[in-house]
Amino acid sequence: MVKAVVLGAAGGIGQPLSLLLKINPKVTELALYDIVATPGVAADLSHIATPAKVKGYLPKDEDALKKTLSGADIVVIPAGVPRKPGINAGICKGLAEGIAEHCPKAFVLVISNPVNSTVPIFAEVLKKAGVFDPKRLFGVTTLDVVRASTFVAEILDDLSLAPTVTVPVVGGHSGVTILPLLSQSEPPLPSSVSEKDIEELTKRIQFGGDEVVKAKDGAGSATLSMAQAGYQFANLIIEAIKGKKGIITPSYVNLAADAAGGEAIKKELGAEVEYFSSRVELGPNGVERILPLGNINEYEKGLVKAALPELTTNITNGVSFIAAPKL
Ligand SMILES: NC(=O)c1ccc[n+]([C@@H]2O[C@H](COP(=O)([O-])OP(=O)(O)OC[C@H]3O[C@@H](n4cnc5c(N)ncnc54)[C@H](O)[C@@H]3O)[C@@H](O)[C@H]2O)c1
Ligand SMILES: O=C(O)C[C@H](O)C(=O)O
């Protein structure tokens, strides 16, 4: 039995993400919450012949958040507005308060941007309520990982490799804080790929979001690829809850989730950051291990150095939004 919740379920990401969760036979209950349209989305999805019982809630329903969140195993949050950090901070605060009250043990997967700041916002609200478990809070950075796999496969001139190419993408989820460790690509990039090509590829992964925003020409940011990426990560969490071992994937977490692993990363970074996206091993209680960056080359060391000031500011903004609400 798995109860999955989508907060922001009527949006550009929320609808296809809810569809993918409805199709997953392990999901037995799917609760959809948004400020608009969830009854229609839920009615529509409920006709799909899969086990999940689907319900949609709106704030005008009595106890909507309570009904949505009670008993949730996993809560995925694509609520908010693309590229509006201040608005999203307030939205995330309210939703985090609901989670703290109604499902403090759930796995919380934050998609709402800016992830570097919204994850600390969730953590601070959960801390205030005395229910924060760093092993259960995740910033979803999977779209960066998915993009890296696809773009490397394009460079290898064989898109059929895209599902199996792995590139650890670490750091955060915005611009220069996104750190694709292309030296660790599997399969490795061929020696014909020049340093300039690697720099261009790195920039393309870091600013992949801009590519989509520009192509959509005013109609928002990545939604379909994000729904797939968000689902991919949610499904790994569901598999971990169900007891599958050895699942390793990058996610933006509070480094206290694994004290030893977190300290090791800080040592590699030479910085006291509280949050960082690194490869994490998942288990039935969430983060089991935070893995080190491992061997990185001089170019990647430079990327890490360039990322840290922005990442640190983003984290401070999130933390201080709860202390003094402005972002
Ligand atoms: N983590 C990532 O990699 C990634 C990728 C793409 C987009 N995003 C972010 O995801 C968020 C959603 O993007 P989108 O394209 O789906 O936007 P969207 O505007 O299409 O959908 C957002 C939905 O959130 C709903 N919403 C607003 N306030 C709410 C509240 N208080 N409670 C519940 N729902 C609420 C809206 O009604 C809307 O349906 C944005 O912040 C965007 O920047 C993150
Ligand atoms: O770039 C955005 O605004 C959306 C998202 O973070 C993305 O990476 O596509």
Say what the ipTM of the complex is. Answer: 0.99
Show which of 139, 171, 193 is a domain's final residue.
139
The residue whose C-alpha atom lies closest to atom 42 belonging to ligand 1 is 82
Is 300 domain-assigned?
Answer: yes
* CATH number of the domain where residue 180 is located: 3.90.110.10
Q: Phi/psi class of residue 167: alpha, beta or left (left: φ > 0; alpha: ψ in -120 to 50)?
A: beta
Cis previous bond, 134, omega within 30 = no
Residues 153 and 177 occupy one common structural domain: yes
Show which of 73, 107, 139 is a domain's final residue.
139
Residues 148 and 83 occupy one common structural domain: no
Q: Which residues of the chain have pLDDT under 70?
A: 325-327
Is 327 domain-assigned?
Answer: no
Separation of alpha carbons 189 and 297, rounded Å: 14
- For residue 139, give the ligand nearest its CA: 1
Does residue 88 contact residue 114 with C-beta atoms inside 8 Å? yes
- For residue 174, give the ligand nearest its CA: 2
Q: Among the options 173, 184, 274, 293, which is catalytic? A: 173
Distance 188 CA to ligand 1 centre (A): 35
Is 240 domain-assigned?
Answer: yes
| pLDDT for residue 327 | 53
Does residue 126 contact residue 237 with C-beta atoms inside 8 Å? no
For residue 217, what are the contacts with CB-CB under 8 A and spacing of at least 6?
none
Atom of ligand 2 nearest to the CA of 144: 8
Q: What angle do CA 188, 279, 150 make, to 5 degrees?
A: 45
Atom of ligand 2 nearest to the CA of 114: 6
Is 302 domain-assigned?
Answer: yes
Residues 252 and 284 occupy one common structural domain: yes
222 lines ligand 2 (CB under 6 A): yes
Which of these, 117, 110, 114, lies nearest to 139 by C-alpha position? 110
Residues 110 and 246 occupy one common structural domain: no
Show which of 139, 172, 203 is a domain's final residue.
139
Choose one of 221, 223, 277 to mutate for the ligand 2 pocket test, by most ligand atoms within 8 angstroms of C-beta: 221
* CATH number of the domain where residue 60 is located: 3.40.50.720
Give CA torsion, residues 181, 264, 317, 17, to 10 deg.
50
The residue whose C-alpha atom lies closest to atom 6 belonging to ligand 2 is 209
Is 234 domain-assigned?
Answer: yes
State the total domains in the chain. 2
| pLDDT for residue 83 | 87
Residues 49 and 171 occupy one common structural domain: no
Q: In sequence order, what DSSP letters do the residues of 236-270 get, joined into one string?
A: HHHHHHTT---EEEEEEEEGGGSHHHHHHHHHHHT
- For residue 252, give the ligand nearest its CA: 1
Residue type, 225: S
Residue 47 appears among annotated catalytic residues: no
Residues 160 and 264 occupy one common structural domain: yes
Crossing angle of helices 208-216 and 142-155, rounded to 10°: 90
- Mean model confidence pLDDT for the chain: 97
The residue whose C-alpha atom lies closest to atom 2 belonging to ligand 2 is 209
Does residue 49 contact residue 22 with C-beta atoms inside 8 Å? no
277 lines ligand 1 (CB under 6 A): no
Q: Reduce the DSSP state of residue 55 to 3 states and report it.
A: strand
Which of these, 118, 105, 117, lies nearest to 8 by C-alpha position? 118
Residues 135 and 211 occupy one common structural domain: no
The residue whose C-alpha atom lies closest to atom 19 belonging to ligand 1 is 81
Residues 248 and 293 occupy one common structural domain: yes
| pLDDT for residue 213 | 97
Is 231 domain-assigned?
Answer: yes
Gyration radius of the chain's alpha carbons: 19
Residue numbers of the domain that contains 291? 142-320
Q: Which residues are annotated as a binding site for NAD(+)?
A: 8-14, 34, 88, 111-113, 226
Q: Is the dihedral of CA 64, 47, 233, 105 positive or negative?
A: positive
Is 325 domain-assigned?
Answer: no
Is 308 domain-assigned?
Answer: yes
| pLDDT for residue 323 | 85
- Residues 28-85 have pLDDT tens digits of 999 999 999 999 999 999 999 999 999 999 999 999 999 999 999 999 999 999 888 8
Residues 246 and 308 occupy one common structural domain: yes
| pLDDT for residue 179 | 98
Atom of ligand 2 nearest to the CA of 226: 9
Residues 165 and 117 occupy one common structural domain: no
Residues 11 and 82 occupy one common structural domain: yes
Strand 169-171 versus strand 178-180 pairing type: antiparallel
Does residue 75 contact residue 109 with C-beta atoms inside 8 Å? yes
Does residue 125 contact residue 100 with C-beta atoms inside 8 Å? yes
Residues 92 and 203 occupy one common structural domain: no
The residue whose C-alpha atom lies closest to atom 1 belonging to ligand 2 is 209
